[in-house]
Structure 1
Amino acid sequence: MLLIHGICLTRGDRLVHQTLGPDEPIPAGAIWIDLHNPTSPEDAKVEQHLGISIPTREEMHDLEPSEIIYAESGAHYMTMRVICQSETNVPRLADVTFILTEQALVTVRYDQPGAFNIFLNRVGKPGGCSLEPAGVIEGLIDAITDRAAEVLRGVGDRIDMRSRQIFDGNSANVEQGRAYQAVVRRIGQYEHIISNVRESMVSVERVLLYLSANFKRTKKAVSGFTPEWRSAIRDVQAIEEHATFLSNKLQFMLNATLGLVSIEQNKIIKLFSVVAVVFMPPTLVASIYGMNFEKMPELKWDFGYPMSLGIMVVAAILPYLFFRWKKWL
């Protein structure tokens, strides 16, 4: 049977996740309706059940900043940018719309963020979530926040590894393996991930601020579960601060890498300069004795040729010894 909806029903002190076929009605006790790649008939079924309007994929993508969060007909519409494909080298952001009503929470998404799977594993346990729509969205936000923190932790570990490669590596090995180029490319990827996490957390923080100011909970939580929007806001802000710290660390690494590249380039230029200076005096000697003047006494000497060669060798060795004495080599 084709599965079109994921729903959560209350059963005892926990939520139970079920799926619906195309012809099955939505149960009255569903407090979370998850629409993953919904079609028009599926949207119509949820709209009829809750009396709300479900945005399409195009509408979600083309939202103006003022339309990301709004209320309509007693329902709160909120669109977040959630980290998706976090197991890849370059995770991306997916738009997810949350529609919060007193009867149920509806999520509309066209991707598979890992935070949703994390939340589904939690709600299957007793006391894993408050048994009301507001508790579901808070649990989802907690899962999104935890996933973002996990992504940042992974990036931080990889940044530390690259940092050791930059500052503890052998310069000769670095040049041979072109590790500097690889490090610069990785820094760009890490910065992209961090910026995505920060952008995601900014959208989550806006939703939390809106909820804390406009949505009043009407039911008591069970099992001592007393969610606080402002506590979640502090968690999000902590992740944003961590992302800023990692971004600054990446900037330092980039500057250090470019500085080391400049040092290696200066070594090569210095070597060419020394070689040019070493061969300059012998070239001068050879140029003098290559002149076509009739009165050059040295040209008629029996030892004139060995003498000129000796002068050229000495003229080359003396600058080299001088550079070694000055520790320029």
Structure 2
Amino acid sequence: MIHGICPDSRDKLRSATLGPAEIFSADTVWIDLLNPTPEEDKRVEEHLGISIPTREEMHDLEPSEIIYTENGAHYMTARVICQSETIVPKLADVTFILTEKALVTVRYDEPGAFNIFLNRATKPGGCGEQPEAVLDGLIEAIVDRAAEVLRGVGDKIDMASRRIFAGRAQDVEQGGVYQVVIQRIGQHEHIISNVRESMMSVERVLLFLSANYKRPKKAQTGFSAEWRSAVRDVQAIEEHATFLSNKLQFMLDATLGLVSIEQNKIIKLFSVVSVALMPPTLIASIYGMNFKAMPELDWQWGYPLALVSMVLFAVLPYLFFRWKKWL
């Protein structure tokens, strides 16, 4: 599918889906290829005189091939958060091809950042009319979306933290809250790592643009300065992701520590019961022996005395443990 975006008469961009027989407008500033077919790739290649990478080529790129320049066009591949509203979001490879005529994006997923930018760009004053301005707006939307995802994860982490420290002992016995929290921690860490990886790829694109791309004379704004500002925003998000990751590590350690404490309480209870039953067991073992020369066997009150002794020596250790505050 090919989306063509070109300036509108009301100081905004206009989006349209191009059919197989439609031609590109001369003022088209953004060509968005979503799940393109070989025929659609060929149409764009003939229109701009560039080469469109296939899905396999985008996936199998070497680190040195993520950003390169060919025939005056700048090829940049970044990883963008996709399906962030699901439990386990993923990263989508998006290739940006910046030429003098238009910006081309090649993608095989639908990251939410693209819809966010499209809503902005189709409003009056939402975006400039140069390919560089479109790229700047897209990157800004990607960064904003990543910040929004991190904020949502931060809120969920706060809720999980309160749930951890408000947990009850019986939850451990029932395999309740702590098991759920540990599972949530793993999911949140997956999202944070995806956001960090996405921002690292975007930062690399921004650094390349800031250092190597020369602003055209027709442009009225300093995109290089805006890209350097975007780099600082990306770095701030990376620092926030690191903070949340450290917070998750603390939560994981705290959760495992609380589980260990509750398990130790259970083990201690069994230990106390074992110690309390040792004297009665000893008495019962002695008088369970089958020796003839045992004078206590002929006592009239021998049996009641043995029972009272077993109960007494079971209660005394319990009272001692309570006095020592071990229970």
- Measured against the shorter chain, the TM-score band is over 0.9
Preserved CA contact (<8 Å) 1:96 1:107: yes
Preserved CA contact (<8 Å) 2:167 2:177: no
Q: Give distance in 2, aligned partners of 1:142 and 1:153.
A: 16
Partner of 2:38: 40
Partner of 1:269: 267
Residues 183-237 of structure 1: CA deviation (Å, up to 9, x unaligned): 1111001000000000000000000000000111113337x99961110000000
Q: Give distance in 2, aligned partners of 1:221 and 1:266.
A: 69
The answer to whether the aligner puts 1:220 opposite 2:219 as a matched pair is yes
Preserved CA contact (<8 Å) 1:130 1:225: no
Secondary structure of 1:8's match?
Answer: strand
Judged with a 3 Å threshold, the aligned counterparts in structure 2 of structure 1 residues 174 and 154 are, in CA distance, closer, same or farther, namely farther
Partner of 2:4: 7
Q: Give distance in 2, aligned partners of 1:67 and 1:195.
A: 23
Judged with a 3 Å threshold, the aligned counterparts in structure 2 of structure 1 residues 326 and 269 are, in CA distance, closer, same or farther, namely same
> CA offset at residue 174 of structure 1?
5.1
Preserved CA contact (<8 Å) 1:131 1:221: no
Preserved CA contact (<8 Å) 2:215 2:223: no
The answer to whether the aligner puts 1:64 opposite 2:62 as a matched pair is yes
Letter in 1 for 2:75: Y
Partner of 1:110: 108
Q: Give distance in 1, aligned partners of 2:110 and 2:122.
A: 19
Q: Give distance in 2, aligned partners of 1:284 and 1:247.
A: 55
Instruction: Structure 2 unaligned segments of length 5 or more: list them.
Output: none
Task: Indicate which of 285, 291, 294 corresponds to 1:293.
Answer: 291
Partner of 1:158: 156
Partner of 2:137: 139
Letter in 2 for 1:100: L
Instruction: Structure 1 unaligned segments of length 5 or more: list them.
Output: none
Task: Indicate which of 233, 237, 245 corresponds to 1:247.
Answer: 245
Q: Give distance in 1, aligned partners of 2:4 and 2:196.
A: 30
Partner of 1:207: 205
Preserved CA contact (<8 Å) 2:31 2:102: yes
Task: Indicate which of 81, 90, 94 corresponds to 1:96.
Answer: 94
Partner of 1:127: 125
Farther off after superposition, 37-46 or 224-233:
224-233
Secondary structure of 2:29's match?
Answer: strand
Task: Indicate which of 78, 82, 85 corresponds to 2:83.
Answer: 85
Secondary structure of 2:101's match?
Answer: coil
Preserved CA contact (<8 Å) 2:215 2:224: no
Secondary structure of 1:19's match?
Answer: strand
Farther off after superposition, 234-243 or 8-17:
8-17
Q: Give distance in 1, aligned partners of 2:203 and 2:14.
A: 28
Task: Count residues with an aligned counterpart.
Answer: 325
Partner of 1:23: 21
Q: Give distance in 2, aligned partners of 1:7 and 1:277.
A: 81
Partner of 1:260: 258
Letter in 1 for 2:235: Q
Preserved CA contact (<8 Å) 1:279 1:316: yes
Letter in 2 for 1:98: F
Preserved CA contact (<8 Å) 1:35 1:106: yes
Q: Give distance in 2, aligned partners of 1:51 and 1:7.
A: 17
> CA offset at residue 124 of structure 1?
1.0
Task: Indicate which of 234, 250, 274 corresponds to 1:236.
Answer: 234
Q: Give distance in 1, aligned partners of 2:2 and 2:146.
A: 26
Preserved CA contact (<8 Å) 2:210 2:225: no
Preserved CA contact (<8 Å) 2:132 2:223: no
Letter in 2 for 1:134: E
Residues 37-57 of structure 1: CA deviation (Å, up to 9, x unaligned): 001110010000000000000
> CA offset at residue 175 of structure 1?
3.8
Preserved CA contact (<8 Å) 1:10 1:30: yes
Partner of 1:280: 278
Preserved CA contact (<8 Å) 1:129 1:135: yes
Preserved CA contact (<8 Å) 2:154 2:244: yes
